[in-house]
Amino acid sequence: MAERLIALLSDFGWQDPWIGQMKSVIYQENPNAKIVDLCHDLPSFDIFSAGFKLFRAFKDFPVYSVFVSVVDPGVGGKRRPILVVTEDHYFIGPDNGIFSFIYKTENVREVLHINATHYFRQPVSNTFQGRDIFAPVAARLSEGIEVYKLGDPVEDYFQIPIPDEKIEDGKLKGAICGRDKFGNLITNIRFSSIKDLAATTKMSNFSVIVQNKEIKLVGGGYEQKLPVFAILNSSNLIEIASPSSSAAEFLGIDKLPLAVEIIGIK
């Protein structure tokens, strides 16, 4: 069996040694491991933002990839280390709600409390379980270990509130859930939902309503003549952007999530 790819996501900064230490532990357990840095230096302690970034990206990875997500303000407390198993991927991290988008949108086969301590790096630090628990377990999983050897199934895993995406009263309702470094605002509204709205309303042109402002949904990319516009981005999600500038600053948006609606226009 081919080695499973390991992807790392964290709020660790590049100026600190933690990312390198996690990689070192993975390579010690599995010298043939293949590691991708999905994203680091995320907003500190922001579980919602990290979970949304994971949701946006994981489908671009090969099946059975292992995602290690470490945004963990409660490290050393009562929260459990967990493994989430879906039809196609594995997710390792703290039981603090970071996988809530996965729970809401994917077919989750099981969630396990990782408690097979003989696979942990010893001694286990109270402040760095990314190195001592998540990294060695990810290495084992990348080699193909059966998941039942890593822990026990649980059903009371923690979830944080995730905005709904639904058609109601002829409108498609969702939320802005993320902002990228360019100031583009990413919603949880999928292209498939736009097609459902088109079928429901019999309309083919749409606008996004955010904070009582109407923003036209257009085709193409970021080279637009409008001062602010909505497009379909590379994650097949609706995104609000502004040409060569920050849509977040243009609209005065700094707190997320933020409710939005999509309506048909003539």
Is the pLDDT reported for residue 99 higher than 60? yes
Q: What is the pLDDT of residue 242?
A: 97
Which DSSP state fits 217? B
φ, ψ dihedrals at 129, nearest 5°: -75, -15
CB burial readout 32-63, b (16+ within 10 A) else e: ebebeebebebeeebbbbbbbbbbbbbeebee
Structure tokens at 131: 């190195």
Is the pLDDT reported for residue 214 higher than 80? yes
Q: What is the pLDDT of residue 113?
A: 98
Q: To which residue do tokens 């969702």 refer?
A: 174
pLDDT in tens, 11-25: 999 999 999 999 999
Q: What is the pLDDT of residue 1?
A: 55
Q: What is the pLDDT of residue 3?
A: 79
pLDDT in tens, 218-228: 999 999 999 99
Contact by Cβ (8 Å): 137, 67: no
β-strands 66-70, 171-179 pairing: unpaired
Structure tokens at 260: 């939005």
Identify the H or E element spanning 242. none
Identify the H or E element spanning 196. helix 191-201
Which DSSP state fits 191? H
The residues that bridge with 241 in the sheet, in sequence order, are 229
Contact by Cβ (8 Å): 151, 140: no
Q: Nearest-5° angle of CA 248, CA 245, CA 260?
A: 30
Is the pLDDT reported for residue 266 higher than 90? no
Q: What is the pLDDT of residue 2?
A: 63
d(CA 202, CA 205): 10
β-strands 185-190, 171-179 pairing: antiparallel
pLDDT in tens, 235-259: 999 999 999 999 999 999 999 999 9
Mean pLDDT of 195-217: 95
Contact by Cβ (8 Å): 81, 138: no
Mean pLDDT of 156-169: 96
Domains within the chain, CATH numbers bracketed: 6-153 (3.40.50.10790), 166-265 (2.40.30.90)
Structure tokens at 121: 């790096």
Q: Is 246 helix (H, G, I), strand (E, B) or coil?
A: coil
Contact by Cβ (8 Å): 53, 76: no
Query: Please, what is the average pLDDT of the chain?
Result: 96
